[in-house]
Amino acid sequence: MELKQKVRKLFRNNDNKEILNKGFSFFVLRVGGLFAGYLFTYFIAKEYGASEVGLVSLCFTLIMCISIFGRLGIDVNLIPYFSNTQNQDDSGLFLKVLGKAFILSSILALIIFLLKSTISVKLFNKPQLEPYIFWTALTIPLWTVILVCAGLFRSFKKNTLFAFFNNPGRFLATLLALLLFFLYCKDEELIAIKAHFYGVLALAIVSMVLAIKQFKCLELSSKANSWKFIKEAFPMMLSGVIIVFLGWADTFVLGIYETDDTIGVYNVALKIAALTSFSLQAINSILAPKIAKSYQEGDVKQLKEMIKFATNTNFIITVIVVTLIFLTHSFLLGLFGPEFISGATLLFLLCIGQLVNSLSGSVGLIMQMTGLQKVYQNIVLIALLINIILNFILTPKYGAIGAAIATIISMAFWNIYSAIYLKRKKNIISYFKL
């Protein structure tokens, strides 16, 4: 009876209800995005093989790594800024920082294009990658625009829009473009990467239109200094850069030492392991503005209750998902082709890493929303150094298994250390605790 009363009390809480309801919407869209991403990867694997999957994965790595620099942490810093109701009509600030992000990301894309031969031949030793770089460079500023607009939706608690543009929209639009290519110009070269570009282009236009509609009145002037805003966002950008590199360093190093086929198998294992992180992403999508608001208002009790509820809910869901993946791993990997079944050990290792991540809770989000963004930046920087060092030590010797182990160790350090820091410095328990 006591347990039932505790459960009822949890679900009577309006914040907990909102976290679950909007988090579930995000989860559904994220699963839809993953399914679209799987369809894209499945189609490419079946039509062109693991080698093509590997080349496209390297292009996606470049897009994700470069665009994080281009958006300058703006997408994250929009959350605390627009969580303040007094700032919600400030369209001028949004347009100014978006313009700066687009210009910077375009410059970075131009540099990538000019260095296409160096990147393809000297860095990855894959001359066949060079023609892909042109379409990769064109995509970078567009993806930056989409993520900044998604950050605005998140700050306004438009969780469905944030969820759609943050991931599923990209692959849904890409699949549509891919279908059109196959219907009208099947013999076209580089179909996969071209379809991705056109899908992102369409998505960028739609996201901009919807972002502008969030404001009652569109003005170019702002009461806030856009350069000061970007300065405040800078530690968040650095943390974001480091986390993206943490997520893609293994693929990057594999690109140097391993074949396209190995990269393709590793990428598929990563995609399946990503299922375990969906509940955390879903909960974080609505938790961020709530933590920012509670922290600004000094409501520490409410802050801690929300974090505890979110962490415990996420960990239970993650354990269930990991168990299901372990039981069905052969079937899941085999969907992409018989050559992908060899990624079973990789999949197990990556799932273990995600389980540690879930156990520690939303440490990065909590630190960034409670004024500890610089501390968090330093923690993930150390984790990145650990990741890079271990990748270059283990990958040449153990291949993809070494890359997976390097990822797990660095992820465990970053999450566990952050959870300990939050407990000692803020008396916030972010980790799973009944």
Domain spans of the chain? Answer: 2-426
Q: Are 192 and 49 in contact (CB under 8 A)?
A: no
Spatial distance between the Cα atoms of 111 and 109, rounded to a whole number of angstroms? 5
Q: What's the confidence (pLDDT) of residue 376?
A: 84
Q: And the tokens for 58?
A: 């390297």
Alpha-carbon Rg of the chain, whole angstroms? 21
Per-residue pLDDT of the chain (434 residues; tens, 9 = 90+): 454 555 455 555 556 665 656 556 666 666 666 677 767 777 777 666 667 777 787 888 788 778 888 888 888 888 777 877 777 778 888 888 888 989 999 999 999 899 888 888 877 777 888 888 888 899 999 999 999 998 888 888 787 788 788 777 888 888 888 888 777 766 666 778 888 899 999 999 999 999 888 887 777 777 778 888 888 777 777 776 777 777 767 777 887 887 777 877 887 888 788 777 767 776 776 677 777 777 777 777 777 788 888 888 888 888 888 899 889 888 888 877 787 888 888 888 888 888 888 888 878 778 877 778 788 888 888 988 898 899 899 988 888 888 889 888 988 898 888 888 888 888 888 777 76
Spatial distance between the Cα atoms of 429 and 311, rounded to a whole number of angstroms? 9
Between helix 226-257 and helix 91-114 the angle, nearest 10°, is 30
Tens of pLDDT, residue by residue over 351-388, are: 888 888 888 887 877 887 777 878 888 888 898 889 88
Spatial distance between the Cα atoms of 6 and 49, rounded to a whole number of angstroms? 52
Q: What number of other Cβ atoms are within 10 A of residue 179's Cβ?
A: 12
Spatial distance between the Cα atoms of 410 and 144, rounded to a whole number of angstroms? 27
Give the CA dihedral 352, 359, 268, 183, nearest 10 degrees: 160
Q: What's the confidence (pLDDT) of residue 237?
A: 73
Q: Which of 28, 14, 23 is nearest to 288 (CA)?
A: 23
Q: Report DSSP state, residue 13.
A: S
Q: Are 161 and 87 in contact (CB under 8 A)?
A: no
Spatial distance between the Cα atoms of 137 and 149, rounded to a whole number of angstroms? 20
Q: Report DSSP state, residue 73.
A: T
